[in-house]
Amino acid sequence: GQNIDQPTEMTATEGAIVQINCTYQTSGFNGLFWYQQHAGEAPTFLSYNVLDGLEEKGRFSSFLSRSKGYSYLLLKELQMKDSASYLCAVRETRGYALNFGKGTSLLVTP
Amino acid sequence: EAGVAQSPRYKIIEKRQSVAFWCNPISGHATLYWYQQILGQGPKLLIQFQNNGVVDDSQLPKDRFSAERLKGVDSTLKIQPAKLEDSAVYLCASRPTVNTEAFFGQGTRLTVV
């Protein structure tokens, strides 16, 4: 089984940087994913980490520490359209099931 | 490339009725997931298929939920009978291989009244 924790809500200002943390406990880790979900829409893939370290993709970066069971998503140069829910998901080795946290609702203000 | 197709987009039923959802994954994607997403929460995995076989259905309430993927392509999820607490968005997702991300459909929003 898994336990995935993320903050419920965060607020940040347009143009700023925000870090969304995710901690997890799992019996068999096989990768960590971040998805973005706008209200009423399907989740869309942002990033994937399977090894420790930082993965950078434009304004978005994701970090993983497997020994600490910890990841974060870093969003730079925030834009209003970044207001959305950010979902942390852990993939298990058994069957490669993808299990999600409850999501962090990010509000970007002017 | 066409995305994951789901239908219907919306469904309203009375409690104790039955309902079925349909998903057509991206062509060639062997793995198919069904998730339940209650308002304000993250998606909860209900069942995972690899081709036409079930990999994980540990969180599927089997007394009322069933799912099949007979030919290893499209899939149906059924609820019979529905309860008020089944009101949620039902998301279907697929992925081609192990080390790739999953792609989601738009979901079916179910309201049980």
Give pLDDT tens digits for A12-51: 999 999 999 999 998 889 999 999 999 989 999 999 999 9
Q: Which residue has the higher pLDDT, A53 or A94?
A: A53
What is the Cα gyration radius of chain B? 13
Specify the pLDDT at position B25: 96
Which residues of chain B make contact with A99, given a CB cutoff of 8 A? 45
For residue A92, what pLDDT band results from cuts at 50, 70 and 90? confident
Closest of B3, B2, B22 to residue B11, by C-alpha? B22
Side chain identity, residue A18: V
Which residues of chain B make contact with A41, given a CB cutoff of 8 A? 106
Specify the pLDDT at position B87: 98
Q: Whole-angstrom Cα distance, residue B12 to residue B76?
A: 18
Specify the pLDDT at position B40: 87
Q: Whole-angstrom Cα distance, residue A98 to residue A3?
A: 12
Specify the pLDDT at position A27: 83
Average pLDDT, chain A: 94
**Distance to chain A for B101, nearest Cα, Å:** 7
Overall average pLDDT of the B32-43 stretch: 94
Residues 45-74 of B with CB under 8 A from A: 45, 48, 50, 55-56
What SS3 state is found at B89? strand
pLDDT cut 90: percent of chain B above it? 86
Which residues of chain B make contact with A42, given a CB cutoff of 8 A? 91, 104-107
Nearest CA in chain B to A96: B98
Q: Whole-angstrom Cα distance, residue B109 to residue A90?
A: 25
Q: Which residue has the higher pLDDT, B2 or B28?
A: B28
pLDDT cut 70: percent of chain A above it? 98
Chain A contact for B43, CB < 8 A? Answer: yes
Report yes or no: A82 and A76 within 8 Å, Cβ to Cβ: no
Q: Which two tokens stand for residue A12?
A: 């940040």
Nearest CA in chain B to A98: B45
Q: Whole-angstrom Cα distance, residue B52 to residue B73?
A: 8
Closest of A29, A65, A69, A34 to residue A48, by C-alpha? A34
For residue B1, what pLDDT band results from cuts at 50, 70 and 90? low
For residue A54, what pLDDT band results from cuts at 50, 70 and 90? very high
Closest of B91, B81, B87 to residue B42, by C-alpha? B91
Residue B23 has pLDDT above 80, yes or no: yes
Q: How many CA atoms lie within 13 A of A93 on its CB side?
A: 4
Q: Whole-angstrom Cα distance, residue B67 to residue A73?
A: 34
Flag if A95 and B33 touch (Cβ within 8 Å). Answer: no
pLDDT cut 90: percent of chain A above it? 83
Beta carbons within 10 angstroms of residue B85's beta carbon: 10
Cβ pairs bridging A and B (under 8 Å): 51
Specify the pLDDT at position A2: 66
Q: Whole-angstrom Cα distance, residue A46 to residue A63?
A: 12
Q: Whole-angstrom Cα distance, residue B25 to residue B32?
A: 7
Residues 1-30 of B with CB under 8 A from A: none
